[in-house]
């Protein structure tokens, strides 16, 4: 299959600097680092225009010129992206940030921003002739890949810890994935995937182990720019698990700057994590280049329960290079923020709600100013989290979770 129409030149390793061939399926660099997708941006700046974006499709594939797909007509799309950027001035004023906005990812297919990564990842798997993909999940990634895989006619194997939320297992089954329940942690599910890859030729699409999820999530950054008239906000607050989304937004900012589409300064990139699992915050505070594995990771914001992310060093670079920061918030603050967002008409998952709790603390601490325009990334809908909703509504925010649905 031809990939001549994409502007991808190669894949690069941000750790050892080695280049890799984008025309072949690739996983990690032999040095263990995730790979980044590189484009001929000089060629692009002469040809594409911001005006042509506006007349593109009403989904994330409107940015096809800056995505790896060879033929945009063959993108595996279910309408992901171009989600609302909601003004939240009233809520913002209550925490001293009248310029607050929420990028609401709940309307995406499968209810979270994982749809962006899966749409791009599945599109590229098809383009590269891959027929079967496998990944471990303890949350929303499995459902997104199972759904897009089903739409593209791929076989999808999902390994899930037996104690993962029931709703995440059921959605994978609904989309027809080969679901393997693992009696153990997400790392044990990862081991099962590695065995299946080794023995039965599945292609490994675990978080950051293939290069194209980042590219899908990158569109979040393009959209924020477009929705604000190609001027970035002062800060973007992101709830980091594996950090794919924040690495993507960082790439988007770099690329928009390279092609001259962004007015003014780039945004400060701010990461929040839960106090019960905050390896990136710890590394940021200590000035480390990468994080240390977080022992006994705990939080009801499941998407943030990543004890050691493969791309942690990239997340830390993104924060430091943009003058951002990192902050941990408690489960109780997250629960409170879920309710506050709800009362403002925004259905927030716990991970998304963490960004409001973080913004509030950063304002108190003086890291955010009253006139800052701040975008919170609400990564998904509350509807996939019945237990978290029940917990947030308990009087002290730490009440007994409802029985699993």
Ligand X SMILES: *Cc1c(COP(=O)(O)O)cnc(C)c1O
- Quick one: 68 or 350, whose CB is closer to ligand X? 350
Interaction of residue 10 with Zn ion, rule CB under 5 A: no
Output the 3-class SS for 118-174.
HHHHHHHHHHCCCCEEEEECCCHHHHHHHHHHHHHCCEEEEEEECCCCHHHHHHHHH
Binding at 29: pick from Zn ion, ligand X, none (beta carbon under 5-8 Å per type) = Zn ion
- Quick one: 256 or 315, whose CB is closer to ligand X? 315
The span from the CA of 229 to the CA of 208, in Å, is: 31
| Chain positions contacting ligand X, by CB under 6 A | 112, 114, 139-140, 239-245, 303, 349, 351, 379-380
Number of residue whose CB is nearest ligand X: 303
Neighbours of 44 (CB within 10 A): 16
- Quick one: 16 or 170, whose CB is closer to Zn ion? 16
Binding at 167: pick from Zn ion, ligand X, none (beta carbon under 5-8 Å per type) = none
User: Shortest Cβ distance from residue 306 to ligand X (Å)?
Assistant: 6
The residues in 20-79 that bind Zn ion, with binding defined as CB under 5 A, are 29, 31, 33
Residue 374 CA, chain-centre distance (Å), reads 18
User: Shortest Cβ distance from residue 29 to Zn ion (Å)?
Assistant: 3
Residue 134 CA, chain-centre distance (Å), reads 18
- Quick one: 30 or 260, whose CB is closer to Zn ion? 30
User: What is the rounded end-to-end Cα distance, in angstroms, of the chain?
Assistant: 44
User: Shortest Cβ distance from residue 312 to Zn ion (Å)?
Assistant: 15
Binding at 349: pick from Zn ion, ligand X, none (beta carbon under 5-8 Å per type) = ligand X
Cα-Cα-Cα-Cα torsion 200, 201, 207, 213, nearest 10 degrees, comes to: -150
Q: Taking a C-beta distance cutoff of 8 angstroms, is the pair 308, 291 a contact? A: yes
- Quick one: 259 or 318, whose CB is closer to ligand X? 318
User: Shortest Cβ distance from residue 35 to Zn ion (Å)?
Assistant: 8
Q: Which of 123, 10, 11, 3 is nearest to 74 (CA)?
A: 123
Interaction of residue 15 with Zn ion, rule CB under 5 A: yes
Structure tokens at 61: 């594939």
Q: Taking a C-beta distance cutoff of 8 angstroms, is the pair 326, 306 a contact? A: no
Q: Which residues contact 188 (CB under 8 A, 6 or more apart)?
A: 161, 182
User: Shortest Cβ distance from residue 81 to ligand X (Å)?
Assistant: 15
Interaction of residue 13 with Zn ion, rule CB under 5 A: yes
Q: Which of 125, 126, 146 is nearest to 135 (CA)?
A: 146
SS3 323: coil
User: Shortest Cβ distance from residue 380 to ligand X (Å)?
Assistant: 4
Judged by CB under 5 A, how many residues of this single chain contact Zn ion?
Answer: 7
Residues that bind Zn ion (CB under 5 A): 13, 15-16, 18, 29, 31, 33
């Amino acid at each position: 299959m031809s990939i001549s129409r994409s502007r991808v030149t190669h894949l690069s390793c941000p750790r050892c600097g080695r280049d890799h061939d984008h025309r072949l399926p690739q996983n990690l660099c032999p040095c263990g680092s995730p790979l980044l997708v590189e484009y001929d941006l000089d060629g692009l700046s002469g040809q594409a225009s911001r005006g042509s974006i506006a007349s593109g499709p009403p989904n994330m594939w409107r940015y096809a010129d800056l995505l790896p797909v060879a033929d945009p007509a063959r993108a595996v799309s279910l309408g992901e992206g171009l989600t609302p950027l909601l003004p939240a001035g009233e809520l913002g004023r209550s925490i001293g940030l009248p310029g607050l906005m929420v990028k609401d990812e709940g309307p995406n297919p499968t209810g979270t921003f994982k749809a962006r990564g899966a749409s791009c990842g599945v599109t590229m798997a098809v383009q590269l002739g891959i027929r079967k993909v496998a990944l471990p999940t303890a949350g929303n990634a499995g459902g997104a890949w199972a759904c897009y895989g089903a739409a593209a006619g791929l076989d999808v194997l999902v390994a899930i810890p037996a104690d993962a939320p029931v709703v995440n297992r059921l959605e994978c089954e609904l989309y027809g994935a080969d679901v393997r329940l693992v009696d153990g942690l997400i790392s044990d599910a990862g081991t099962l995937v590695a065995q299946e890859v080794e023995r039965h030729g599945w292609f490994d699409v675990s978080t950051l182990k293939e290069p194209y999820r980042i590219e899908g999530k990158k569109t979040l950054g393009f959209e924020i720019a477009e929705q604000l008239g190609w001027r970035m906000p002062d800060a973007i607050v992101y709830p980091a698990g594996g950090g794919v989304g924040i690495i993507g937004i960082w790439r988007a900012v770099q690329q928009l700057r390279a092609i001259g589409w962004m007015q003014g300064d780039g945004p400060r990139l701010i990461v929040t994590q839960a106090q019960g699992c905050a390896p990136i915050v710890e590394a940021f505070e200590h000035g480390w280049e990468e994080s240390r594995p977080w022992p006994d990771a705990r939080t009801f914001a499941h998407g943030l329960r990543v004890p050691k992310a493969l791309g942690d060093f990239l997340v830390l670079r993104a924060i430091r290079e943009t003058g951002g920061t990192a902050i941990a918030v408690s489960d109780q603050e997250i629960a409170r923020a879920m309710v506050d967002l709800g009362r403002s008409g925004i259905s927030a998952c716990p991970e998304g709600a963490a960004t409001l709790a973080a913004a509030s603390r950063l304002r108190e601490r003086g890291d955010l100013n009253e006139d800052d325009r701040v975008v919170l990334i609400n990564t998904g809908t509350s509807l996939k989290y019945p237990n978290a909703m029940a917990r947030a509504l308990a009087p002290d925010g730490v009440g007994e979770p409802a029985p699993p649905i």
